[in-house]
Amino acid sequence: MKKIRLLPAFVTFLAGAITSIMLYAFNCDLFTMLWVLLLVLIVFYVLGVIAMKIIMDCPPKEEPEEETEGEVIQKDENSKKEESGGEEAGKKDVAK
């Protein structure tokens, strides 16, 4: 989730870099370049925040549980001894 919170900053940075390169390549004057860049940064920051909210509101995908139908679960020897030991202890307490 922490990486998703960086989405607006990444989108804004990428849009700003592309805009700066394109405006420099088209030989725009500095004043026009700065206003266009400011507008692009604001618009893409808002779009990044909206995208982040949409992604964070989506529930995570749940993996389907494996079906245990037809499987045999075996008890190990320790659990069998504990079960039988518990019954014998109960019989001894009753006999006393």
Q: Give pLDDT tens digits for 8-67.
A: 999 999 999 999 999 999 999 999 999 999 999 999 999 999 999 999 888 777 776 666
> Cα–Cα distance between 35 and 77 in angstroms, integer?
77
Q: How far apart are CA 86 and CA 28, in angstroms?
A: 88
72 within domain boundaries: no
Query: Is 8 a domain residue?
Result: yes
Do the domain assignments include residue 66? no
Dist. CA 47–CA 39, nearest whole Å: 12
Q: Which residue has better confidence, 77 or 15?
A: 15
Domain holding 37, by residue range, is 4-57
Please state whether the predicted TM-score (pTM) of the whole model is above 0.75.
Answer: no
Task: Say how many domains are in the chain.
Answer: 1
Per-residue pLDDT at 4: 84
The runs of H, that is alpha helices, within the chain are: 7-25, 30-57, 77-95
**Within a domain: 91:** no
